[in-house]
Every structure is written in C-alpha cells, then in structure tokens.
Amino acid sequence: MPSLEFAIDLTVPDNTAFTVLTALRSMGYDALTRVERADLLRLGLADGALSAEECGRAIKAAEVVFNPNKHRLAIADGGPPDDAEAVVADKDDDTDALKSLLTEHFGIRGLERVERATAWRLFEGEAAAGAERLEWACANLLANPYSQTHAVRRRPSYRRL
C-alpha cells in the first residue's frame, strides 16, 4: 500500500505558533526566535489508486482540510531529509468520517487509511533547533502524554503542489 504524506501550512500569521513561541520563551527557552507548524495528512492508498498529483488536486478541493485562501500544500517527495521536527498526533484520532468524506465527495479512490498529525519546528535564529530541544518542548508543552504521541524525526523533503 503506497503512503503519501502531505503538509498543510498557513500563508497567514499563525496565532497558535505565536502562542507556543511565547509560552516556550516564558518557560526559559530564551534562544527561541521562531516556531513553525504544519498539519500533516498521511494517506494510505491501494496500489494503482491515484497518483500523488491527482491526490494533491483532490486534497486542494477538500475544504474540510484545505482552504486555498490561507493554506499551502506540499507532498513529501523522498528527497534528502531536512532538520529535526516534532510530530504530535492524537492517540484516539478517529479518522473514519474524514476517510469517507475524502473518498465519497472528493474522489480519492482507493483510500485505505488516513492519519493526521501536527509537525512542529523550532528555530534559534536561522538555525533549526535540535532533537534534544524538541523532545524538551514536547515533554513540557507540545504533546499531552495522556492523549497524544510524539516523535522527533528528520523532516522529510517536501515539494509544493
């Protein structure tokens, strides 16, 4: 089953990222200068169902996850990974309704699995924060250990759609 990962980020100021910036600074992370956030949508497709481009076009039409007035869409393209990021997901995220909607109303044929998460990137000046700092941020603010999971990973290379 092929799997596609899409990142949906804002083209307008992100108030949630600004709130996280302010909160982490107040917790003693003085070197923090910028926070970026993207919604991740991971789709598991049946073999031969849709191409990545067809799937991307369908997502851009799905106003339940993408608003062209404020979002950008990118797809993980298999290129060399970038700096670290923290990926936070709800443990009990029921995506059945979203899966049905994407299949029935937006034409994503062969959709077998949908996963959602939020990717967080922290910056100190122009440099991305390392894995240790991201783990600290998840333990202290970004992820609720009772209802969410988190993983620090190398950020995949993305291509804008």
Please list, residue by residue across 66-88, b when 16 or more beta carbons sit within 10 angstroms of its beta carbon and e when fewer do: beeeebebbbbeeeeeeebbbbb
What's the pLDDT band for 1 if we cut at 50, 70, 90? low
What's the pLDDT band for 82 if we cut at 50, 70, 90? confident
What's the pLDDT band for 2 if we cut at 50, 70, 90? confident
The beta strands (E) that lie in 11-154 are given as 34-45, 71-76, 84-90, 111-124, 127-128, 148-154
Length of the chain: 161
Of all residues in the chain, the percent with pLDDT exceeding 70 is 99
Domain spans, the chain: 3-160
Q: Is 114 helix (H, G, I), strand (E, B) or coil?
A: strand
pLDDT digits (tens, 9 = 90+) for 98-120: 999 999 999 999 999 999 999 99
**What was the pLDDT predicted at 21?**
98
pLDDT digits (tens, 9 = 90+) for 16-59: 999 999 999 999 999 999 999 999 999 999 998 889 999 999 99
Residue 158 burial (CB count, 10 A): 19
**What was the pLDDT predicted at 156?**
96
Mean pLDDT (the chain, rounded): 96
- The pTM assigned to this predicted structure is 0.94
